[in-house]
Amino acid sequence: MDEAAPSAASHIDMRDGDDFTCPNCGCEIMLKHHGDEAKMQRMQMFTCCCGVTMEFEHPR
């Protein structure tokens, strides 16, 4: 199965304190500080150590 690359129009709204979980293994991370958006033009969701794309723990 091929995953489509995020387009320039798509935007991931990450904020300081956001929690992310892996639906495969249950691993969790927290975004402590969000960097400069101008330097993150190709921002994507985090990838877990097991290789699965992480998800927001509390989706908006």
The amino acid at 45: M
Residue 31: per-residue pLDDT = 92
How far is it, in rounded angstroms, from Cα 26 to Cα 4? 24
The amino acid at 16: D
Token couple for 18:
């956001």
Quick: pLDDT tens for 38-51: 887 788 899 999 99
Residue 28: per-residue pLDDT = 97
**Percent above pLDDT 70 for the chain:** 82
Average pLDDT for the chain: 83
* 14-33 average pLDDT score: 95
Q: Which of 50, 48, 54, 53 is nearest to 18 (CA)?
A: 54
What's the maximum distance between 2 C-alpha atoms anywhere in the chain?
33
pTM above 0.75?
no
Q: Locate the domains of the chain by residue range.
A: 15-36+43-60
